[in-house]
């Protein structure tokens, strides 16, 4: 197995050294620079990274990432890890990956955000795959899809990637790209969910509600954790959130997040008994699965027990 760690980059000078340090056990480090005006390119080259210049216009992430794949060497045994510049591989990653059974695609634990210096929102990600047989799709929130006709073999790679958000970067490009993605793939439930979520983040609540309801009505929207999340976002935008939170826990009764939100809602309304019941139901769930986003607060048993003491 040979391993390439690769990414697209734009004005990432402040992240380059950390990125290289975390990934230097790779056989190849590759950056496709999409027009940096800072020192990203020369610094990366000084640190031993192969850097190519890449022009994509109009901008879309899938085109950039597919162009990046085309720059990789044609090694049949090559495994590619897509590691963005604000992400790091946790030490021991290479040994863990090489110790895993052979596969076309590998999953790993991904820490998206932090709470008091400890992992908060975490889930299982899968941007680690064989050199051939994959392409990226969608202008933003792009996903890998299998192009090979043979069935995909997946394994747990046993490693972790940590994300350290760069809050200086605006999200301004996300909304128009998500709107474009929704037009291009109107029946894609994942894109509908992400488009609705972005509208919610930016305060376009009327449009967000419409899009969340469209997501929930799509025939392909059958994944319970994501449906439950859509209901929780609807609760955030409603003066009477309980109705949506009840639907959230009905969709995914074995996930803590909905029960915790319900407990918080009840307590904020002075319904201590109902809050204690929801918290007790959450505490009965003891297995934290990472196939969808989970947050540390929901898995803080001490926090949940405070609802029982009111």
**How would you write 265-309 as a 3-class SS string?**
HHHHCCCHHHHHHHHHHHHCCCCCCCCCCECCHHHCHHHHHHCCC
The pLDDT, as a whole number, for residue 167 is: 80
The pLDDT, as a whole number, for residue 30 is: 98
Q: How many angstroms separate the Cα of 8 from the Cα of each of 33, 89, 130, 172, 236?
A: 6, 16, 18, 18, 34
The pLDDT, as a whole number, for residue 209 is: 98
Take residue 112 and report the two structure tokens written for it.
């998206």
The pLDDT, as a whole number, for residue 172 is: 74
Residue-wise pLDDT tens digits, 171-209? 778 999 999 999 999 999 999 999 999 999 999 999 999
Topology of domain 174-306, CATH: 1.25.40
Residue-wise pLDDT tens digits, 15-61? 999 999 999 999 999 999 999 999 999 999 999 999 999 999 999 99
Q: Model pTM?
A: 0.92
What is the chain's mean pLDDT, rounded? 96
Looking at the domain covering 2-163, what would its CATH class be?
A: alpha beta
d(CA 73, CA 50): 12
**How would you write 115-161 as a 3-class SS string?**
ECCEECCEEEEEEEEECCCEEEECCCCCEEEECCCCCCCEEEEEEEE
Is the bond preceding 18 in cis, omega lying within 30 degrees of 0?
no
For every residue of 185-214, DSSP letters joined together read -TT-HHHHHHHHHHHHHTT-HHHHHHHHHH
Q: Where are the domains of the chain?
A: 2-163, 174-306
pLDDT, tens digit only, all 310 positions of the chain: 999 999 999 999 999 999 999 999 999 999 999 999 999 999 999 999 999 999 999 999 999 999 999 999 999 999 999 999 999 999 999 999 999 999 999 999 999 999 989 999 999 999 999 999 999 999 999 999 999 999 999 999 999 999 998 887 777 789 999 999 999 999 999 999 999 999 999 999 999 999 999 999 999 999 999 999 999 999 999 999 999 999 999 999 999 999 999 999 999 999 999 999 999 999 999 999 999 999 999 999 999 999 999 7
């Amino acid at each position: 197995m040979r391993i390439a760690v690769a990414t697209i980059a734009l004005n990432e000078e402040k992240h380059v050294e950390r990125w290289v340090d975390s990934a230097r056990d790779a056989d190849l480090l590759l950056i496709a620079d999409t027009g940096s005006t800072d020192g990203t390119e020369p610094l990366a080259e000084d640190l031993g990274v192969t850097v190519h210049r890449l022009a994509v216009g109009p901008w879309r992430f899938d085109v950039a990432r597919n162009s990046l794949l085309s720059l990789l060497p044609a090694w049949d045994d090559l495994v590619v890890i897509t590691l963005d510049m604000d992400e790091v591989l946790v030490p021991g990653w290479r040994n863990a990956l090489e110790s895993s059974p052979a596969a076309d695609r590998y999953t790993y634990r991904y820490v998206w955000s932090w709470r008091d210096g400890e992992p908060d929102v975490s889930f299982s990600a899968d941007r680690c795959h064989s050199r051939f047989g994959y392409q990226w799709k969608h202008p933003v929130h792009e996903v890998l899809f299998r192009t090979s006709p043979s069935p995909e073999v997946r394994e747990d790679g046993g490693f972790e990637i940590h994300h350290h958000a760069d809050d200086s970067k605006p999200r301004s490009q996300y909304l128009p790209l998500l709107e474009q993605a929704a037009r291009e793939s109107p029946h894609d439930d994942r894109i509908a969910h992400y488009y609705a979520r972005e509208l919610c983040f930016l305060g376009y609540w009327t449009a967000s509600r419409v899009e969340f309801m469209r997501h929930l009505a799509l025939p392909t929207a059958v994944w319970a954790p994501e449906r439950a999340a859509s209901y929780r976002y609807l609760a955030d935008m409603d003066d009477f959130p309980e109705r949506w939170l009840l639907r959230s826990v009905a969709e995914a009764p074995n996930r803590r997040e909905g029960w915790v939100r319900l407990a918080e809602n009840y307590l904020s309304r002075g319904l201590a008994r109902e809050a204690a019941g929801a918290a007790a139901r959450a505490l009965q769930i003891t297995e934290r699965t990472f196939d969808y986003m989970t947050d540390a607060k929901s898995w803080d048993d001490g926090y949940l027990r405070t609802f029982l003491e009111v």
